């Protein structure tokens, strides 16, 4: 059984950008449902539930859409929770230097990230990723993530599905993304992922499940 990871902060810790109500819906209903369906499919299909990254990659390779969507969405949300913190600090060190080198600075990165998210049609995810040293902003559709993008390591992700922001911002995805980028980004987590992209650390992995 894959677990539903708990939030690393209180449900109301990200308010007002993301309200307590949204966090309860998002984590306890949406994320929980993806994990529940994932576990049903894993059981039905006799798949080992010990490595979600492998499940995502194999489901993509074997074109098992339902398994891929639920496995990837379980992974994406767990990663997304860690990309946020109520005690956000600016990027520092190598990551800050890379942001300056590849985008011109944090303001230009924010503009690229917000524009990518606003321009993304319908549901999906907007990412800051690294290909080796080089930073990139990109978006993916529906549940797709970077586990199937060879050579790309995710540093940050923001959820573009309406359930992530509609209760708090209605249709204003831009306002949500700007507030998210300004107030909630966990740059320490992004820096660890940037180390992983350069072979200096292990990348994030979904929590190891407890034995069924």
- Closest contact distance (angstroms) between CB of 76 and Fe ion is 7
Residue 23 or 41: the one with the smaller Cβ distance to Fe ion is 23
Contact yes or no for 38/4 (Cβ under 8 A): no
- Closest contact distance (angstroms) between CB of 120 and Fe ion is 14
- Closest contact distance (angstroms) between CB of 73 and Fe ion is 7
* Inter-axis angle of helices 32-44 and 65-82, nearest 10: 140
- The residue sitting closest to Fe ion, measured at its beta carbon, is 159
Residue 22 or 193: the one with the smaller Cβ distance to Fe ion is 22
User: What is the DSSP code string of 25-62?
Assistant: IIIIIIIHHHHHHHHHHHHHTT---S-HHHHHHHHHHT
* Inter-axis angle of helices 65-82 and 52-61, nearest 10: 140
Structure tokens at 105: 């600075």
**Size, binding site for Fe ion by CB under 5 A:** 3
Outline where DSSP puts E strands in the chain: 124-131, 134-141, 153-159
Region binding Fe ion by CB under 5 A among candidate stretches 5-13, 113-121, 154-162, 198-206: 154-162
Structural Rg of the chain based on CA atoms: 17
Single residue of 41, 78, 113, 159 touching Fe ion by CB under 5 A: 159
Structure tokens at 127: 């990412």
* Inter-axis angle of helices 106-119 and 173-183, nearest 10: 150
CA–CA distance, 48 with 4 (Å, rounded to integer): 17
Residue 161 or 181: the one with the smaller Cβ distance to Fe ion is 161
- Establish if 68 lies at the interface with Fe ion (CB under 5 A): no
Contact mark string toward Fe ion, 104..143, x via CB under 5 A: ----------------------------------------
- Establish if 161 lies at the interface with Fe ion (CB under 5 A): yes
Residue 38 or 91: the one with the smaller Cβ distance to Fe ion is 38
- Closest contact distance (angstroms) between CB of 100 and Fe ion is 31
**Range 162-201, binding Fe ion (CB under 5 A):** 164
Residue 99 or 184: the one with the smaller Cβ distance to Fe ion is 184
Residue 29 or 43: the one with the smaller Cβ distance to Fe ion is 29
Q: Which residues contact 131 (CB under 8 A, 6 or more apart)?
A: 151, 152, 153, 197
Which residues would be at the binding site for Fe ion (CB under 5 A)? 159, 161, 164
């Amino acid at each position: 059984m894959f677990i539903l990871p708990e939030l690393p902060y209180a449900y109301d810790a990200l308010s007002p950008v993301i309200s307590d109500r949204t966090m309860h819906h998002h984590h306890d209903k949406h994320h929980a449902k993806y994990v529940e369906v994932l576990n049903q499919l894993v059981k039905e299909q006799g798949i080992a539930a010990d490595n979600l990254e492998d499940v995502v990659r194999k489901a993509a390779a074997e074109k098992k859409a339902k398994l891929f969507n639920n496995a990837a969405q379980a992974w994406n949300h767990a990663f997304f929770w860690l990309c946020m913190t109520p005690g956000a600090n600016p990027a520092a060190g190598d990551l800050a230097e890379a942001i300056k080198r590849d985008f011109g600075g944090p303001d230009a990165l924010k503009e690229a990230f917000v524009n990518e998210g606003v321009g993304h049609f319908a549901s999906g995810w907007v990412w800051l990723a690294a290909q080796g040293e080089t930073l990139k902003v990109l978006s993916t559709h529906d549940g797709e993530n970077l586990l199937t993008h060879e050579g790309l390591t995710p540093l940050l992700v923001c959820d573009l599905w309406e359930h992530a922001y509609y209760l708090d911002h209605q249709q204003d995805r831009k306002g949500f993304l700007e507030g998210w980028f300004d107030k909630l980004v966990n740059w320490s987590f992004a820096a660890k992922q940037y180390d992983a992209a350069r072979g200096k650390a292990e990348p994030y992995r979904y929590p190891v499940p407890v034995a069924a």
